[in-house]
Amino acid sequence: MRATIASLVSNALLLIQQAAAAPTDTDTWNETTVDISGDSSADSFSVASIYDWTYRRWNGANYACKCYPGDPCWPSTLQWNLLNATVGGNLQISIPPAASCYNTFQGLLGNISTYNAAQCADVHANYASEQWQIDLPTAGLWTYFTNDTCRPTTNPTDSCTGGYFPTIYIKATTIAHIQAGILFAKNNNLRLIIRNTGHDFLGRSVGWGALVINTHSFKDISLTSSYRGACNYTGSAITVGAGVQAFEALSKLHSLNPPKIMVTGECATVGVAGGLVQGGGHGPLTNFYGFLADTALEFQVITADGVLRTANAKTNPDLFWALRGGGPSAFGVVVQATYKTFDDYSSSGTTFALGPANVNNNDTLWWDAIAKFHSYSNHFVDNGLYIYYELYPGLSFRVQPVVGVNKTAAQLEAVLQPLFNDWTAMGLTFDKTTTTYSTFYELYNALFESEVAGDSALTGGWAFSKTDVAKNNAGIIDAFKNVLNNGALLVGHMWNGGHGLPQSQWADSAINLRFRNVSDKLITILPLSGNAPLAEKEAAQRVLTDVVDGGLRAAGPNGAAYINEADPFQPNWQTAFWGTNYPKLLQLRQKWDPTGVFYSVSTPGTEKWEQIEYGTRLCKKL
Ligand SMILES: Cc1cc2nc3c(=O)[nH]c(=O)nc-3n(C[C@H](O)[C@H](O)[C@H](O)COP(=O)(O)OP(=O)(O)OC[C@H]3O[C@@H](n4cnc5c(N)ncnc54)[C@H](O)[C@@H]3O)c2cc1C
Ligand SMILES: *[C@@H]1O[C@H](CO)[C@@H](O)[C@H](O)[C@H]1NC(C)=O
Ligand SMILES: *[C@@H]1O[C@H](CO)[C@@H](O)[C@H](O)[C@H]1NC(C)=O
Ligand SMILES: *[C@@H]1O[C@H](CO)[C@@H](O)[C@H](O)[C@H]1NC(C)=O
Ligand SMILES: *[C@@H]1O[C@H](CO)[C@@H](O)[C@H](O)[C@H]1NC(C)=O
Ligand SMILES: *[C@@H]1O[C@H](CO)[C@@H](O)[C@H](O)[C@H]1NC(C)=O
Ligand SMILES: *[C@@H]1O[C@H](CO)[C@@H](O)[C@H](O)[C@H]1NC(C)=O
Ligand SMILES: *[C@@H]1O[C@H](CO)[C@@H](O)[C@H](O)[C@H]1NC(C)=O
Ligand SMILES: *[C@@H]1O[C@H](CO)[C@@H](O)[C@H](O)[C@H]1NC(C)=O
């Protein structure tokens, strides 16, 4: 094993060492209270040890693990110092956002005094703010996967530990910084996390003991009205840096005359060149133009060997295909992406809700009304609608919004009318509001509600095919009841990934072909504190996988799961996420990242990788 790893070690480290100026700021370095080597004894500076794995036994099996603080193969202070010089001093120790409310943060690299009353007040005021968390270097917005070991407190003597937070990060501001980080992680066998907005539901933007490369600074946007590139497309396009968020791209496009739009998620703060496109990227325009990945024209991407490459229809077309939906942080680090943009149209949106008062507190009636709504899924998407809805316990059903792009209020309501007629016939009373906006952009800003950070939950989900809705809507509704009865919530997204995209383009990306025939994609949310006892967490994971999502899968055997919004521990995840594309993706992972420099859970080729020892060490099963 050692020989294999040693042979991988490229000239890259040497390159870094040559490129790096000798660290000059030794005084600053000495002043840090933390011994970055993770070893309180003197540094060995032993070059031979850095290519090692750490061997562990866990649950009766043998594992070769990445290197963590305290392991002999964890880099020495000298090596970190060289890296820091290479990345312009942008290497920093990762501290959980709420550490300023505690006297001491006990991290893997030692104890640091952290209390700061003003910063702590800021934490209390902003912990639920998405953008505040996004701007922090290593925070995870959905805190379950940070292990919630350092939440805001008013008692500074409580314990604040690192949980599953990374240990150290590079705030990258140049492509060379990202390259240096990738090569350092590769050569020293470190757990590497690429962190953009930290929006991830599956915990993929945090990881115990990891080195993080933060891409948030890459905010460049450029626009063209006539793209010239490797494919035959000559229309308008946008080129975005890795850190650009949807609202930034959309507002820039809206400022054009005439205004343009692009496919993004429904959530305006999610990034547009990171996890979203690499998982696919659905949104309110998906009925019109497919996934964000379907609109991609080109990527600039750094692969596991540290090389910056172009990926488009002509250059590295296999990598281009894989980056379009093949899984985040699996094939490379995207530093720049170019997408098609489209004309913006006057659009209409409708909102409505059904609560206990609309059904006289009648549970049966409420579920009958939901079943009726859901039976129209195929009708809605076939007529070009996108619908975002929530089903919560306590007879709470909210639809906000229904989106009709390029539709008048009358055209939109005509599509909804059969449902409203049925509801009226069932004896329901309800209100609905339809508004027309002069552009989709204005609708998007007005009707999609902003979301909060700092919540802790397990996330699952499943998408229902049109076939399953047509044949088994009653079974699907029983599965919905089962979701709510088991303490979970449901968020639905009605769209069809093949409706607006010519069939000839369906296979141009790695997206599961089944998404071309779905009409409702659901997220299940099982609220649970990240610091709940381990046994409780294990039980909740089983409920999510087997009971909550198990019921949805059984009701929709022709469906699929979406890698960015699903349970990564579901059985047969390879097929659920990628269907018939999986074998090709597996080959491409072996080609572009043969040693597992990148990792995010349940992406192609990660079958042997596990986070053993209660979700900490990332290891390969031997
Ligand atoms: C409130 C909310 C709403 C959402 N709405 C939608 C929606 O409407 N449609 C939809 O499709 N999804 C939606 N998502 C899911 C979203 O697609 C994922 O959370 C996505 O992974 C976020 O990507 P990010 O880059 O912004 O976040 P991060 O959490 O920073 O990254 C997520 C993953 O992508 C990897 N990654 C990030 N940047 C790069 C890069 N440059 N190169 C390589 N890998 C990278 C990370 O390592 C990680 O594995 C939503 C999520 C949330 C929390
Ligand atoms: C910094 O550390 C080096 C190496 O450990 C040591 O030789 C030097 O004296 C220290 N400098 C200060 C200012 O403490
Ligand atoms: C990296 O260098 C900068 C600038 O010298 C310094 O402020 C920072 O503390 C260093 N990082 C680490 C992890 O020591
Ligand atoms: C850090 O602080 C904790 C709590 O005070 C203590 O138990 C631990 O020994 C300290 N660790 C180090 C490395 O000093
Ligand atoms: C994570 O949280 C669990 C409790 O949910 C705890 O038992 C475990 O020690 C924690 N691990 C870390 C690394 O914080
Ligand atoms: C571009 O168009 C030409 C001529 O129609 C065709 O042969 C070629 O395959 C197209 N290229 C791409 C990348 O679609
Ligand atoms: C509740 O609604 C169902 C379905 O419409 C109906 O059969 C039943 O009689 C109602 N129950 C009450 C108490 O009104
Ligand atoms: C927009 O709607 C008009 C009128 O219904 C229709 O003629 C046109 O084709 C639509 N445009 C698109 C891009 O769907
Ligand atoms: C898609 O769904 C429709 C409607 O149920 C069905 O007739 C068709 O066979 C499905 N197509 C595929 C490829 O599954």
Query: Closest residue (by CA) to atom 12 of ligand 9?
Result: 517
pLDDT of residue 607: 96
Tell how far the Cα of 370 is from the centroid of ligand 1, in angstroms. Answer: 30
pLDDT tens-digit readout, 13-39: 333 333 333 333 333 332 334 455 555
Nearest ligand, CA 529: 5
Among 593, 435, 578, 420, smallest CA distance to 513 is for 578
Cβ 541 under 6 angstroms from ligand 5: no
Give tens-digit pLDDT for 56-91: 999 999 999 999 999 999 999 999 999 999 999 999
Considering the chain, what percentage of its residues have pLDDT values greater than 90?
91
Q: Residue 201: which of 270, 263, 259, 119 has the closest Cα? A: 270
Q: What is the pLDDT of residue 38?
A: 52
Q: Which alpha helices (H) appear in 148-193, and where do they start and end?
A: 175-187
Distance CA 164, CA 148 (A): 8
In CATH, what number does 347-570 get?
3.40.462.20
- Which residue from 272, 276, 336, 494 has its CB within 8 A of the most atoms of ligand 1, so it is best to mutate? 276
| Token representation of residue 106 | 């006990």
Q: Which atom of ligand 2 lies at the shortest distance from residue 30's CA?
A: 1
The confidence score (pLDDT) of residue 284 equals 98
Nearest to 544 by CA among 615, 459, 456: 459
- Residue 406's region, left for phi above 0, alpha for psi from -120 to 50, else beta, is left
pLDDT single digits (tens) 566-608: 999 999 999 999 999 999 999 999 999 999 999 999 999 999 9
* Domain chopping of the chain, boundaries: 77-214, 221-343, 347-570
Counting from 1 in the atom list of ligand 5, the atom nearest the Cα of 149 is 14
Pocket of ligand 3 (CB under 6 A): 25, 28-29, 32, 36, 84, 89, 91-93
- 30 C-alpha to ligand 2 centroid (Å): 6
pLDDT at 413 exceeding the cut of 50:
yes
Distance CA 477, CA 386 (A): 20
Q: Are strands 160-161 and 104-107 parallel, antiparallel or unpaired?
A: parallel
From the CB of 362, is ligand 7 less than 6 Å away?
Answer: yes
Atom 10 of ligand 2, residue of closest alpha carbon: 30
For residue 552, the model assigns a pLDDT of 98
- What's the rounded Cα separation, in Å, for the pair 290 and 280? 9
CB 214 within 8 A of CB 173: no
Paired strand residues for 403 = 349, 386
**Residues 364-408: tens digit of each pLDDT:** 999 999 999 999 999 999 999 999 999 999 999 999 999 999 999
The pTM of this model reads 0.91
The answer to whether 85 and 21 are in contact (CB under 8 A) is yes
The minimum-distance atom of ligand 7 relative to the CA of 427 is 5
pLDDT of residue 37: 59
Q: How far is the CA of 96 from the centre of ligand 4 (A)?
A: 17
- Tell how far the Cα of 159 is from the centroid of ligand 5, in angstroms: 13
User: Cβ contacts of residue 416 below 8 Å, gap of 6+?
Assistant: 350, 380, 385, 402, 432
Judged against a pLDDT cut of 90, whether residue 152 lies above it is answered with yes
Which pLDDT belongs to residue 51?
57
- Ligand 9 pocket member 362 (CB < 6 A): no
Q: What is the pLDDT of residue 354?
A: 97
CA of 40 to the centre of ligand 1 (A): 37
Residue of 231, 232, 504 best suited for mutating to test ligand 6, as the one with most atoms within 8 Å of CB: 232
Ligand 5 center to 15 CA (angstroms): 39
Q: Is the CB of 157 under 6 A from ligand 2?
A: no
- Encode pLDDT of 111-124 as tens digits: 999 999 999 999 99
Cis previous bond, 604, omega within 30: no
Average pLDDT over residues 127-135: 96
Residue 469 contacts by C-beta under 8 Å, 6 or more apart in sequence?
Answer: 374, 375, 377, 378, 476, 519, 520
| DSSP structure string for 307-359 | -EEEEESSSSHHHHHHHTTS-TTSS-EEEEEEEE-EE---EEEEEEEE-GGGG
Tokens read off for 539: 């039980």
pLDDT digits (tens, 9 = 90+) for 519-551: 999 999 999 999 999 999 999 999 999 999 999
User: Which residues does ligand 4 sit against, CB inside 6 Å?
Assistant: 104, 106, 110-111
Cβ(31) – ligand 2 distance below 6 Å: no
The residue whose C-alpha atom lies closest to atom 3 belonging to ligand 6 is 232
pLDDT tens digit sequence for 422-481: 999 999 999 999 999 999 999 999 999 988 999 999 999 999 999 999 999 999 999 999
Kindly indicate the confidence band of residue 52, based on its pLDDT and cuts at 50, 70 and 90.
Answer: confident
Question: Is 50 exceeded by the pLDDT of residue 55?
Answer: yes
CA distance 27 to 124: 34
How would you label 177-216 residue by residue, b for 16+ Cβ within 10 Å and e otherwise? bbbbbbbbbbbbbbbbbbbbbbbbbbbbbbbbbbbbbbbb
Which pLDDT score is estimated for 364? 97
The per-residue pLDDT for range 205-261, each reduced to its tens digit, is: 999 999 999 999 999 999 999 999 998 999 999 999 999 999 999 999 999 999 999
Q: What is the model's pLDDT at position 110?
A: 93
Distance 370 CA to ligand 7 centre (A): 15
Point out the ligand nearest to the CA of residue 365: 7
- The pLDDT, as a whole number, for residue 613 is 97
Query: Any idea which fold 221-343 has?
Result: 3.30.465
Q: Which ligand is nearest to the CA of 26?
A: 2
- Number of CB atoms found within 10 A of residue 444's CB: 26
Asked if residue 59 has its Cβ within 6 Å of ligand 7, the reply is no
